[in-house]
Structure 1
Amino acid sequence: MKWYVVYTKPKWEKRATEQLTRLGVHCYCPMIKKIVERSDRKKKIEVPLFNNYMFVQLAEKDRNKVFLSPGVVRYLFWLGKHAIVKDKEIEIIKEWLDVGDTATEISVMQYQIGQKIKLHSGPFCEQNAIIQDITKTHYVLILESIGYVLKVKHQ
Structure 2
Amino acid sequence: MSETENWYVLYTKPNREKKVLSQLLNLDMTVYCPMVTTMRQWSDRKKKIEAPLIPRVIFIKCSEQDRNKVFEVSGPQHYLFWLGKPAIVQNAEIETMQAWLQQDISEANVIDLKTGDTYVIQNNVFKGQEGVIYEVSKNRVQIVLKELGMKVTITKENRS
So what's the TM-score if we normalise by structure 2? Answer: 0.86
Give the superposition deviation at 1:139: 1.5
Matches within 5 A, 1:1-155: 1-101=5-105, 104-105=107-108, 107=110, 109-154=111-156
CA–CA distance in 2 between the matches of 1:60 and 1:82?
Answer: 9
Rate the CA distance shift 1:137–1:79 in 2: closer, same or farther, 3 A: farther
In the TM superposition, residue 136 of structure 1 has moved relative to its aligned partner by 3.2
The change in CA–CA distance for 1:106 and 1:35 in structure 2 (over 3 A counts) is same
Amino acid at match of 1:124: F
Deviates further, 27-36 or 132-141: 132-141
SS at match of 2:138: coil
The 2-side partners of 1:122 and 1:65 are apart by 37
- Letter paired with 2:116: G
Distance of 1:113 and 1:66 partners within structure 2 = 39
For the aligned residues, what is the CA RMSD? Answer: 1.8
Residue 127 of structure 1, CA deviation: 1.1
The one-letter code sitting in structure 2 at the alignment partner of 1:122 is N
Residues 131, 39 of structure 1: alpha-carbon distance in 2 compared, 3 angstrom cutoff: closer
Cα offset, 1:154, TM superposition = 5.0
Query: What percentage of aligned pairs have identical amino acids?
Result: 37
Letter aligned with residue 132 of structure 1: Y
Query: What is the CA-CA distance between 1:18 and the residue it aligns to?
Result: 0.7
- C-alpha separation between the residues in 1 aligned to 2:112 and 2:40? 33
Provide the rounded CA distance (Å) in 1 between the counterparts of 2:109 and 2:68.
41
SS of alignment partner, residue 148 of structure 2: coil
The separation in 2 between residues aligned to 1:134 and 1:43, in whole angstroms, is 26
1:55 CA displacement = 0.2
- TM-fit CA distance, 1:106: 5.9
Helix, strand or coil for the counterpart of 1:55?
strand
SS in 2 for 1:126: coil
Structure 1 pair 53/26, CA: closer, same or farther in 2 (3 Å)? same
Structure 1 length normalisation: TM-score? 0.89
Cα distance in 1, alignment partners of residues 97 and 89 from structure 2? 11
